């Protein structure tokens, strides 16, 4: 994932009102949510000692 000045990307919005939101648990991506014409959420769980690549 691309880092923006040490901060994690959390929201992308289009002029048409579509959005993509990222939520994190610590350094790991936990959920992605879509809003607008397409809606939905994808969640992730991690085992202890596992990292995201």
The pLDDT tens digits of the residues spanning 12-22 come to 999 999 999 99
Q: Are 32 and 21 in contact (CB under 8 A)?
A: yes
Strands 11-13 and 40-43, sheet pairing: unpaired
pLDDT-based confidence at residue 6 (cuts at 50, 70, 90): low
Residue 1 is predicted with a pLDDT of: 44
pTM of the model: 0.69
Give the single-character DSSP code of 36.
S
Q: Are 7 and 16 in contact (CB under 8 A)?
A: no
Whole-angstrom distance, CA of residue 18 vs CA of residue 27? 25
Residue 52 is predicted with a pLDDT of: 58
Whole-angstrom distance, CA of residue 20 vs CA of residue 41? 10
């Amino acid at each position: 994932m691309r880092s923006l000045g040490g901060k994690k990307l959390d929201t992308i919005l289009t002029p048409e009102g579509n959005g993509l939101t990222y939520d994190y648990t610590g350094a790991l991506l936990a959920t992605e949510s879509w809003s607008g014409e397409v809606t939905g959420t994808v969640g992730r769980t991690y085992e202890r000692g596992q990292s995201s690549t």
